[in-house]
Structure 1
Amino acid sequence: MADLGEPDRVASPVFIIGTERSGSNLLRLILNAHPSIAVPHPPHFMRYLASIERTYGDLTSETARRAATRDALALLRTHIHPWGCDVDEDTVVAAAAPSLFGVVAAVYDEYRRAQGKARWGCKSTFMVWHVDEVLAQYPGAKFVWLVRDPRDVAASAKSSVFAPYHPYRTAGLWVREQRLAAGALERHGPDVVHLLRYEDLVSRPAEEIAKLCAFLDESFDPAMLAPHLTGEAQRTSRLSAAWLNTAAPISARSVGRYQKSLTVAERRQVERVACLVMKSLSYSLSPDVHQAVRPALAEVLTRGALLRLATEYRSLRGDTNHFRRWRRDMTVLGLRARARLRAAVPTASPISGGNA
């Protein structure tokens, strides 16, 4: 294990990239079980704030960095999976590089310190859109491209409050994000981007986790094979039905779940949208993929809305973080509304957009 705060480890954060519902919760807990790596559940700072970064103004200014920090900490306060530690605003403002990601990195580093570990990680798969931005600040950063059969991703997304719901839309998102990850691998090479198939991880965990540790230049730790035994996994499983499996041992039981969870039409639609990328990643296609019919927009919207209503109802009844998620969503709307106001009134002080 590296010494706490060893510069090469602090400067080499770990990012899980790809598409949501690909097993990233499992991989987060595997990595977090390592004695050197702290990977909290992500508030998705860049997903929610990147589009309004320019409204903070020049982030070399302490005033602008403080405004961005306050917005980030507003998201953290309403996060659906509380971190369980305090993050000091002044410390983040002082430590942050002059960019939104600089603020995000400083927040994550505070979590690392609170956990007493040498290295931090980020499970926000949306960081696939920000790989080059991360490497500009952390040339030693490592990216784990976690990829899963898009049919299983779509099957999981149909009943998750964190996904696009309709399989056709999920397939489109999967294609875009795998292409981004593939581009990052092509540009930066396998020493920076490690391709990990979910199916291999759950079928051969010891072998794949050993490869992962070698990529990260970390010693293998047996605790990584039993992440479900950690307190973090138990706490995660109690928050949402979408995370129940985090309290169970690593298993391949979810591989191929689409065969029961997708209709024939849905499966064909996913394959038709994703076929080229699926082939490049060695996922087989069904013989009838050519029979796929593109769904009408009205069908996508209506079916997606019905799936969302059903999932929201289940979440309301069973998820302990249901109202926290609603509060988080309202916080995001508020932050974006204030950003629009800052953009419309350039003379307004950027700090006025911070509190939520």
Structure 2
Amino acid sequence: MDVHLPRGLLPLGSGGYDRGGDERSPRIPPRGLLQRERAHRVHGRPLHLRGRSAGASTLMSRVNALTDRCLFMTSPMRSGSTLLSRILSAHPGVAMSYDSLNFFRFCYHRYDPLTDRENLKRLFSDVAYRLLHRFEIPLDVDACLAHMGDAPTYGQAYLSILRVIFALTGKSIVGDKEVLAWTRIPSFLSMCPNGKAIVILRDPRDVVTSFKRLTIAPEPDYLIALFDVMDAVNHAFRFQAQYPGRVHVVSFERLSANREEEARKLCAFLELEFDPVMLDEAGYTDHVGKPWNVDDALTFKANDPDRWKTVGRWKQRIEPEDLYLCEWIAGKQIAQLGLEFAGRRHAQDVFDRAMQKITASPLMREAFKRWCDLGEGMERFPLNPLDPSTWDRGQVKHPQAFAAASAGPQPAI
């Protein structure tokens, strides 16, 4: 039996990393999922695709009570953005998802035109399918559709999803955190006129050290994280100047040193009163409202002596050639972040290993050449994030739901 995946997903094991335009998959996805649906085929029970949940009218009344205030957070990988999203979501006025909706990655301009009602239904159905089977987050498709006007836009769709997910919280600001999406900030601010954006930045040497340990990408493609940080720093400060009062930049190092001070700055940016509950990590919650397990966000686990040394861990862990590359290529960005350099003089063999690494794969050669030619980084994953086989299997609740029997065309990244 063929399983039709939502648009924008590759079947498990299909591989491929197409960086071209905006091709669309012609496969027809499931038609919709209910807010309270938890029955699914992977457990041998039917998955109902249409209908209205029992509490739909109550849900819609709460959805309509929310304002248009929304928040978008982004960062390079391994930069503390999940922690920051939990700090914000602990506030009585803010509700934030993290690494789940990923609207710009999976939805934005993949369902054109939205004025075609079938495309709009497909967008919400695809999101509901992915959220349910990957995270067990329910989404009422009918409630999302009911909140759309006669001339639907991606901004309305984005807000509708967030409003429905967080309707029962009654919080006035809803938001989402999506990594590697800082170039989408202008699009977000345009499609959400009352929206604000946050970028959190971290020392590229710590980012590279952490991502190298975590990623399943072949070496040396973990070094793409270096070019990601460069690009994020360049865009973040540019956008903060370009959109005053609408873009806020957070330093992970300053957040780690003084969480309360940074939380107060965030509240001022969002025009909220600071609440001490934001500092109580024991009260942080996960995707579905359960206590947040900080281990899920940590690269270095319980038996590692550097587990809690999130700032400056690179001093003990980074390879000499990686340090050389970080301080050579991202020296300007390290200085912009107010960080100190190692001050080491590197031997010839370190330089040789560094040059070998930075030219050892097509991805690294592309990133390095871009830096040599333009002095710029890039916003890029080392693997295709649309391919479920690249997802952290520990974070996929029902992987069978994404294991399609036939591949079909591969969508663009």
For Structure 1 versus Structure 2, the TM-score category normalised by the shorter chain is 0.7 to 0.9
Check whether the contact 2:284–2:292 (CA below 8 A) recurs between aligned residues: no
Q: Alignment partner for residue 72 of structure 1, among 107, 127, 141?
A: 127
Distance in 1 (CA, whole Å) between partners of 2:154 and 2:63 is 23
The within-5 A match list for 1:156-305 is 156-161=210-215, 166-189=221-244, 191-232=245-286, 235-237=291-293, 240=296, 242=298, 253-288=309-344, 292=351, 293-296=354-357, 299=360
Check whether the contact 2:63–2:163 (CA below 8 A) recurs between aligned residues: no
Question: Which residue number in structure 1 is paired with residue 172 of structure 2?
Answer: 118
Check whether the contact 1:68–1:100 (CA below 8 A) recurs between aligned residues: no
Distance in 1 (CA, whole Å) between partners of 2:299 and 2:357 is 32
Q: What is the identity percentage for the equivalent residue pairs of Structure 1 and Structure 2?
A: 22
1:30 aligns with 2:87: yes
Aligned partner letter, 2:185: V
Aligned partner letter, 1:294: M
1:95 aligns with 2:147: yes
Distance in 2 (CA, whole Å) between partners of 1:176 and 1:302 is 16
TM-score by length of 2: 0.65
TM-score by length of 1: 0.74
Query: Unpaired segments of 5 or more residues in structure 2?
Result: 1-61, 302-306, 365-381, 383-391
Distance in 1 (CA, whole Å) between partners of 2:316 and 2:254 is 21
Question: Which residue number in structure 2 is paired with residue 321 of structure 1?
Answer: 394
Aligned partner letter, 2:282: H
Question: Which residue number in structure 2 is paired with residue 147 of structure 1?
Answer: 201
Aligned partner letter, 1:196: V
User: What's the secondary structure of 1:218's corresponding residue?
Assistant: coil
Q: Alignment partner for residue 42 of structure 1, among 99, 120, 124?
A: 99
Which of 1 and 2 has higher RCO (CA within 8 Å, sep 6+)? 2
Distance in 2 (CA, whole Å) between partners of 1:95 and 1:127 is 26
Deviations, residues 16-64 of structure 1 (Å, cap 9, x unaligned): 222121111110110111111111233243353257x34x331112111
Distance in 2 (CA, whole Å) between partners of 1:173 and 1:167 is 11
With over 3 angstroms needed to count, the CA separation of the structure-2 counterparts of 1:339 and 1:104, relative to structure 1, is farther
User: Shift of residue 119 of structure 1?
Assistant: 1.6
Distance in 2 (CA, whole Å) between partners of 1:89 and 1:6 is 15
Q: Alignment partner for residue 129 of structure 1, among 183, 196, 211?
A: 183
Aligned partner letter, 1:180: H
With over 3 angstroms needed to count, the CA separation of the structure-2 counterparts of 1:60 and 1:302, relative to structure 1, is closer
Question: Which residue number in structure 2 is paired with residue 354 of structure 1?
Answer: none
With over 3 angstroms needed to count, the CA separation of the structure-2 counterparts of 1:323 and 1:28, relative to structure 1, is closer
User: What's the secondary structure of 1:125's corresponding residue?
Assistant: coil
Aligned partner letter, 2:157: V
RMSD: 3.7
Distance in 2 (CA, whole Å) between partners of 1:41 and 1:33 is 13
Aligned partner letter, 1:273: I
Q: After the TM superposition, which parts of structure 1 deviate over 6 Å for at least 4 consecutive aligned residues?
A: 4-7, 162-165
Q: How many residues align?
A: 311
Distance in 2 (CA, whole Å) between partners of 1:298 and 1:111 is 44
Distance in 1 (CA, whole Å) between partners of 2:335 and 2:399 is 38
With over 3 angstroms needed to count, the CA separation of the structure-2 counterparts of 1:15 and 1:270, relative to structure 1, is same
User: Shift of residue 160 of structure 1?
Assistant: 2.4
User: Shift of residue 161 of structure 1?
Assistant: 4.6
User: Shift of residue 112 of structure 1?
Assistant: 1.8
Query: Unpaired segments of 5 or more residues in structure 1?
Result: 246-250, 309-318, 342-356
User: What's the secondary structure of 1:10's corresponding residue?
Assistant: coil
Distance in 1 (CA, whole Å) between partners of 2:202 and 2:284 is 24
With over 3 angstroms needed to count, the CA separation of the structure-2 counterparts of 1:279 and 1:63, relative to structure 1, is same
Aligned partner letter, 1:158: K
Check whether the contact 1:15–1:123 (CA below 8 A) recurs between aligned residues: yes
Check whether the contact 1:37–1:117 (CA below 8 A) recurs between aligned residues: yes
Distance in 2 (CA, whole Å) between partners of 1:325 and 1:174 is 32
Check whether the contact 2:196–2:247 (CA below 8 A) recurs between aligned residues: yes
Distance in 2 (CA, whole Å) between partners of 1:144 and 1:290 is 36
Larger radius of gyration: 2
Distance in 2 (CA, whole Å) between partners of 1:178 and 1:325 is 36
User: Shift of residue 209 of structure 1?
Assistant: 1.0
User: What's the secondary structure of 2:168's corresponding residue?
Assistant: helix
Check whether the contact 2:205–2:314 (CA below 8 A) recurs between aligned residues: yes
Question: Which residue number in structure 2 is paired with residue 350 of structure 1?
Answer: none
Question: Which residue number in structure 2 is paired with residue 353 of structure 1?
Answer: none
Question: Which residue number in structure 2 is paired with residue 345 of structure 1?
Answer: none
